[in-house]
Amino acid sequence: MRIATVTRKTSETDVTVSVNLDGTGQREISTGVGFYDHMLDQLARHGLFDLQVKTVGDLHIDAHHTVEDTAIALGEAFRKALGDRAGITRYGHAQVPMDETLARVSLDISGRAFLVWKVAFTQPRLGEMDTELFWHVFHSFAQAAGITLHAEVPYGQNNHHIAEGLFKALARALRQAVEIDPRQPGAIPSTKGTLV
pLDDT tens profile 72-106: 999 999 999 999 998 999 999 999 999 999 999 99
Closest CA to 165 of 108, 114, 109, 100: 100
Domain of residue 39, CATH code: 3.30.230.40
- Kindly report, residue by residue over 156-181, the tens digit of the pLDDT: 999 999 999 999 999 999 999 999 99
| pLDDT value of residue 195 | 63
What is the Cα–Cα distance from 154 to 103, expressed in whole angstroms? Answer: 7
- Kindly report, residue by residue over 126-144, the tens digit of the pLDDT: 999 999 999 999 999 999 9
16 DSSP β-pair partners: 7, 54
Q: Is residue 65 part of a domain?
A: yes
| pLDDT value of residue 191 | 59
In the predicted model, what is the mean pLDDT of the chain?
Answer: 95
21 in Cβ contact with 49 (< 8 Å): yes
| pLDDT value of residue 170 | 98
Domain that includes residue 109, residue range:
3-178
Q: Is residue 155 part of a domain?
A: yes
Closest CA to 90 of 110, 105, 106, 104: 110
Q: Is residue 38 part of a domain?
A: yes
Q: Is residue 26 part of a domain?
A: yes
Dihedral of alpha carbons 99, 100, 101, 102, sign: positive
Q: Is residue 50 part of a domain?
A: yes
Query: Widest CA span of the chain, in angstroms?
Result: 51
Q: Is residue 138 part of a domain?
A: yes
Q: Is residue 196 part of a domain?
A: no
115 DSSP β-pair partners: 149
| pLDDT value of residue 1 | 85
Indicate the number of domains in the chain: 1
What is the Cα–Cα distance from 27 to 39, expressed in whole angstroms? Answer: 12
- Does the pLDDT of residue 55 top 80, yes or no? yes
CA dihedral 20, 23, 28, 29 (to 10 degrees): 60
Dihedral of alpha carbons 42, 43, 49, 53, sign: negative
